Structure formats: structure tokens, C-alpha cells
Chains A and B, each alone.
Chain A
Amino acid sequence: MQAALDMIVELLVQGFWVLVFPGIFFVTSLALLWEWIDRKVYARMQNRVGPLHTGWHGILQPLMDFLKLLSKEDLTPKKADRRSFAAVPVVLLVLSFVLCMFLPIVDMNPAVPGVQGILSFEGDLVLILFISTLIALVIILAGYFSSNPFGQTGAARTGMLLVSFEIPLILALVTPAFLTGSLCVSTIMYRLTQMSPAYVWLLVLPFVIYLIASQAELERIPFDVSHAETEIVHGWQVEFSGKKLALIHMAEDILLVFSAGIATTLFLGGPYLLEFIPLSIFSVEFAAIAATTWVGWVYYPLVFMFKSALVVVILSNMRTLFARWRIDQIVRYGWKVMVPLALLSVMLVQVALVYAFPLLGVM
């Protein structure tokens, strides 16, 4: 009896984690919030006001847009493959949710040191990279399923874009794994926070490469050739409308949460902030309180949100600064600059780890 009750409670708790906090509901709210920040920053930098009327400074505007799109007419082109066409937004949304499950926002498993994500196991970094490539594949298929010349052109461009920028992205993300000798996102993050500050310098170049590559993964200016509304009318999204478009937009916002979250986790020290202050009251006592009591459930998400928001602001700023590149320019830039740069940074890290740091006595 007691065992059955325990199991029910356990199931309820796990359900709460996955569905509400820090799972789907939390991630969705973050996605809408990040979209608002993105739109507001983008607008203010362009000397516009941005969303203004719905909620405080238009904070509810993304939600209203989402709800409005849900109520709009949902059309499927005659020539499109019906089932696959309808499956694309759902698959995109599910994959992006799965990606966010790996983000260490709150300590899900206090038995292991460090903050854990809802899903966390050795080798999950590889799975994350695999899923993000899978998303690229789904996007390409979405363009072809819609059987629209704009959609197909957009899909071809997406393919070329992602082929060029997956490699720098992956190389940037494996640098922290090299440093820590682990392939588990949570472990990498925890070990990075324990290492000497000298290692921060090794993460600067990969971080910059990651930001640029993730801007390309998210198909934002200057890499938004696959949308390019003045050329191919939003590319692969052109035939999607109503609920499907709403889900696609939500998936894109969630991917923004994921990209900013992974940058936070692997490069900016995850949900730790006060712990880095070299005073024992912060680095020892406060760390213990946050790690063991309910304080962590408030403190960690807040720090995570703060750092992610910073990354989102950087990404929005990049969006304001440039014009759209042409696809051939992007591919040339990707293979001639980004890939060699990423390889170089990996080599630098190896040289530093194997030769320079032992020589300098950095541990």
C-alpha cells in the first residue's frame, strides 16, 4: 500500500517537473518572454517602440500573437503531402522541447553534485547535437512537403546554411567537453565552475563562434536567407498558416531559449553567480544552502534567466547590426572563415591543455 502511494506521489512529482516546472510550461513562458525581449530590444535599437499595449510594455504581445494565430484559418495546399505537412510543426515543437529538457535549470538529482537537468546522462551532449541536426533536417523536409517554389528554394538554402554552420557549432560546443573530459552537459557545467579561472580564456573564442553559429542555426539576420521575406516570402514557412504556423513560431522561440540556455550552461557558468565570489560566505555556505534547500529552486532559475537574457540581448543586437547576406556569401564565409576558425580554436585548446597550462602550472 505504502509502496503504491509512494509511486503515485513520485509520478505526480515527476509529472509536475516535466509538465510545469522546470519543464514544458516554464520553457514555454521563457520562450514568450525571450521573444518579447528580442522584439523590444530590436525595436528600441531601430528607434521604434516595439510591442507596447498588451500587458506591461507589451510583455504579453507574443502570447497574444500565439493565441491569435491558433484561431486563424488553417490551410493545406492541394499539392502538399497532407500527413507529413501536418506532422512538421508538431515534430519541430517536440524536438525543441526535448532539447530544453537537457538544460540544467534546477537541481533535479541532488544525489549528484551540481545542478542537473530533467534529462541528464553521460553522452547527452552528443544527443543534443544530433537532435539539433535533426531539426535542420525537419526544416528542409518542411520546405519540400509544402511543394511551393518559394518553400523549396527556402529549404535548399536552409540546407546549405546548416551544412556550413553545423560544423563550427559542434566544434565550439565540444571545447568545454575537452576541458572537462565529460560528455554530459550537467557534468561539464559543474566541472567548469570548479576549474581555475585561467580556463575562461580558452572559452572566449568558442563562445564567439557559438554565438555566430547559433545565430545561423536560428536563421536570424544576417543569416536569414531561408526566410528572406523580400526574396522568397519566408521560405519554407510560406505555406504554413493558422495553428501550424503558431506551433512553428513557438518551436523557433523555444530553440532560442535552448540556444541561449546552452550558451549559459557551457560558456557562462550555468545557474551559478554568487558562488563565484571568492568569499567563503558565498562560495561555501551559500552554495551549500542553494544546493540543499528550497532556495536553489528560486535562485538557480533566476540566475539562469538572467544569463540567458544577456545572451538573447547579444543575439538581438547582432540582428540589428547587419544586412542579410546572400547564400553564396554565407557558404563561402562559413567554409573559409568559420570552419578554420573553429578548428583553430580546438587546436589552441588542445595545445593549451597539453603543453601550455602544465608548463605555467595552472591546474
Chain B
Amino acid sequence: MTSTSNRTVVIPPRVSIPIGPQHPALKEPAMFKLTVEGELIVDAEVNIGYNHRGVEKLAESNTHIQNLYLLARICGICSATHNGNYAQAVESAAEVEIPERARYIRTLIWELDRIHSHILWLGVAFHEVGFDTAFMYTWRDREVAMDMLESISGNRVHHDMNTVGGVRRDVPDELVPKLLRGFDKLKERMRYYRDVVLHEKTFWDRVAGVGILETDVAKKMGAVGPTARGSNVPVDVRFNDPTQAYVPMMDTGDFEMILNDRCDVAGRTIVRVEETIQAIEMCSWLVKNMPDGPIRERVRPRIQPNEVLARHEAPRGELIHYLVTNGTDKPERIKVRAPTHANWVSMAHTLKGNYLADAPIILAAIDPCYSCTDRVVVVDADEQKMELVPLDVLRVRANKWYKENPRRDE
């Protein structure tokens, strides 16, 4: 006889599956410890910090011109954003205005960078759900954007177009028809991929309803970029706080911020694909309306003491460079807040309750860029031990330390 009181509840065995530090789904090292019951993720632990390179410390001993090239190498995919945003920061610290044509060229490089970065992401997303054919196709068409960047800047990956006071190279007039042809081709291809995303059932089934990040959670966790806009949070520096050639571009009123209220991976995908098409339109607007004039303003190497917070909408979200200058040709302090860093916070929440099979695409959906993000490994030389400090502990410690040691005398 069995009574209802001693009915046993069968709990599926919990298995802890490590994704990373080396894992085929991850292109860079990071560690996600997923606790799964069967196929369901019940707990997720995000553990980053395998790729810290000390760029900020190094930047303090370099001149501003050297830093342009150093910061471009923070990230291989969005190199133009770090490069351009730092140039923008130094210019505002020096309080100089750069020529109008330089603004347009800088913005053009930024938008081209966004195009190739988003297409790259789309390919990775296709690959994560096992749709390798579309992955190969998207990366083939990404070459169009890469070729355009190469013909403008001379480099495929690290464009290094910006300098303090303008840009290094001009866009020659004979290049303009070639660029416009490239934009037309890209636009046609991107419309095709939008159809693939929306109508290919096997892909759509893998992204729809997966990795839900509700609007209020996204706001609370401070998500940025397409991750936030895919959750219907209207944050886009290009529209909220335009700089450079975004100012006249937004004045035309032809462009609107792309938002999606699906709050899942599908929403993020749609936002990125639509944004790519919009970026192509922005690029052709920039090329068509580019004013004549000089491309560079001479800026003295010593920058007066100043404190600047430069914002720019990188492909992955809002990028912040906090720059303190001290009257020499080197920065006093440069702090980089890369967009991926802001998006990590919501990751554990997004992963929970999904299937293990969804983990790669959810991780990929914020377009993580670990090398922009990784912060600190504390190495204690006296005790010969290495300690990986998680973000929250680090924050607590940092606050405590700054309370005890005020950094600058006010």
C-alpha cells in the first residue's frame, strides 16, 4: 500500500557542464558553468577574465597618438570604434573642432565597421545553430564591406583611420562610385538574409522565444546596444547623443532607431539585421553628402588638463572612453567601458530556464567580445598565488579602496 504522504519526488540528476575556457562555441576564452537537469539549464555562472592585457595601464605611459593605435587593438572586430572614440575624446579635451569632411569620413568608417561586424555576428549566429551554409554565405558577402574598408583605409582589420584632429586618409572622388555599387550589392544581400532569418523555419525555431531578457530587467541590468534594443529599451548613442556627422544625419530625419519588443534572441537578430540595412543607408547618405575641405586639423601634442567622457555607439552597444588629461602629451587616466562589459551582467539571468542546446546562441546573441571586457586577475607576488576576481567582488573592493585612498585631491 502506498500513501500519498510518502510519495517520492524524482529529481533528474544535476550535471555541471563547463562551456569554456576552451569551447568550439566560443571564439575567445571565457568560462560558463551551466548546471543542467537533463537538458534544462537551472543555474548559470559567468566567469570571465582569461584575457586581461593591461591596456589601460599601458595607455597611461603612451602619448595620445600612440594610444590611438594601441586602443584600436583592444578589439579586432570593432577596432574603428575604439580608435575613433579615443580621437574624439582627445579632441574634446583639447577643445578643438575638426573639419567637417573629417567628421564624415570618421562616421563612414564607423558605419562600415558596424556593417561588417553585424554581418560577422549573423554568420556566427547561423553557425551556433548549425546552419553552416548561411554562415559561409554571410561571411562571403562580408568581404564586400571588408574590401571597401581596405580601399578607403588601406587595411582590412585595423583601419587606424583617425588621428587627433581629423583622419589620416581622404576618400578620393574616384572611389565614390565603387562604394555606392558596393552598398547596393550589400543591401540586396542583407535583404535576402533578413528573409532567411524570418522565413527559414529551422533557424527561426531556434531563436524565437529563446533567451528572454525582459524590458525592465534589461533596463535594470544596464544592457546596451542591440541587446537592449532587442528588448525594446531605446538606447542608441547615435540617436540620443549624436556626435560627429551623426548630427547632420539625424537632422535629416530619415533615420529612426530600430527597436524590437520580442525580448528574445530573435529580437536581437532582427535588430541587428535591420541595423545593418540602416547602416548601409547611412553610409550611402554620408558618401553622397560628404562636404569638400581639409581632412585634418593640427592639434598641439600637449593637451590641457581636462576630464572627458566620450560616448559612441559601437556595433555591440555604447562604448565609453573616460579620459583625464594633465597638460602633457600622455593621458593621466583612460578608462574603457566596452559594451560587452555592460551586457555580461544580464547573461546569467538570460541563460536560466533555457535548454542546454540554446546556450551557445544565447551567449552569442550579445555578440560578446572578451578581449574588450576582461578585467583583472589579481596576482599576489608575495604569496605566489593567482586569484581570479569576479566582477562583483572587484566592484566591492574597488569602492572600498577608493573610499580609503581618494585618487585625486579635489
Contact = CB atoms under 8 A, between A and B. Distances in A.
A225 B129 CA distance: 10
A47 B136 contact: yes
B15 A231 contact: no
Contacts of B128: 230
Contact of A46 (B15, B132, B205): B132
Contacts of A324: 129-131, 202, 206
Interface stretch (B285-293, B333-341, B350-358): B350-358
A79 interface: no
B136 A48 contact: yes
Interface in B197-253: 200, 202-203, 205-206
B137 A149 contact: no
A153 B133 contact: no
Contacts, number: 81
A231 B206 CA distance: 13
A356 to B, nearest CB: 34
Interface string B380-406: 000000000000000000000000000
Interface string B17-58: 110000111000000000010110000000000000000000
A323 B126 contact: yes
A230 B133 contact: no
A116 interface: no
Question: Interface extent on A, as a size class?
Answer: 20 to 34
B24 A329 contact: no
A222 interface: yes
Contact of B133 (A45, A325, A327): A45
Nearest to B130: A324
Contacts of A327: 39, 355, 357
A73 B25 CA distance: 25
A34 interface: no
Nearest to B140: A47
B130 A326 contact: no
Question: Which of B25, B38, B357 counts the most chain A CB atoms within 10 A?
Answer: B357
A225 B358 CA distance: 11
B137 A231 contact: no
A230 B127 CA distance: 8
A228 B357 contact: yes
Given A46-B137, A47-B136, A149 B206 contact: no
A156 B134 CA distance: 28
A323 B203 contact: yes
A18 interface: no
Contacts of A222: 130, 202
Interface in A291-332: 320-329
B15 A149 contact: yes
A153 B25 CA distance: 16
Interface string A319-348: 011111111110000000000000000000
A237 interface: no
Contacts of B133: 45-46, 320-321
Contact of B131 (A47, A149, A322, A329): A322
A229 B128 CA distance: 9
B203 to A, nearest CB: 4
Contacts of B206: 323-326
Given A47-B140, A324-B131, A325-B202, A233 B126 contact: no
A152 interface: yes
Nearest to B127: A230
A207 interface: no
Interface in A116-170: 149-150, 152-153, 156-157
Contacts of B356: 153, 231-232
Given A233-B23, A322-B131, 16 more contacts: A46-B136, A150-B17, A221-B132, A230-B24, A230-B128, A230-B129, A231-B359, A232-B17, A320-B133, A322-B200, A323-B129, A323-B203, A324-B130, A325-B202, A325-B205, A325-B206
Interface of A: 45-48, 149-150, 152-153, 156-157, 221-222, 224-225, 228-233, 320-329
**Across chains A and B, which 5 residue pairs bring their CB atoms closest together, nearest first?**
A324-B130, A323-B131, A46-B136, A323-B202, A230-B25
14 contacts: A47-B136, A47-B140, A149-B16, A149-B17, A149-B18, A152-B15, A153-B36, A222-B130, A230-B360, A232-B17, A324-B202, A325-B202, A325-B206, A326-B206
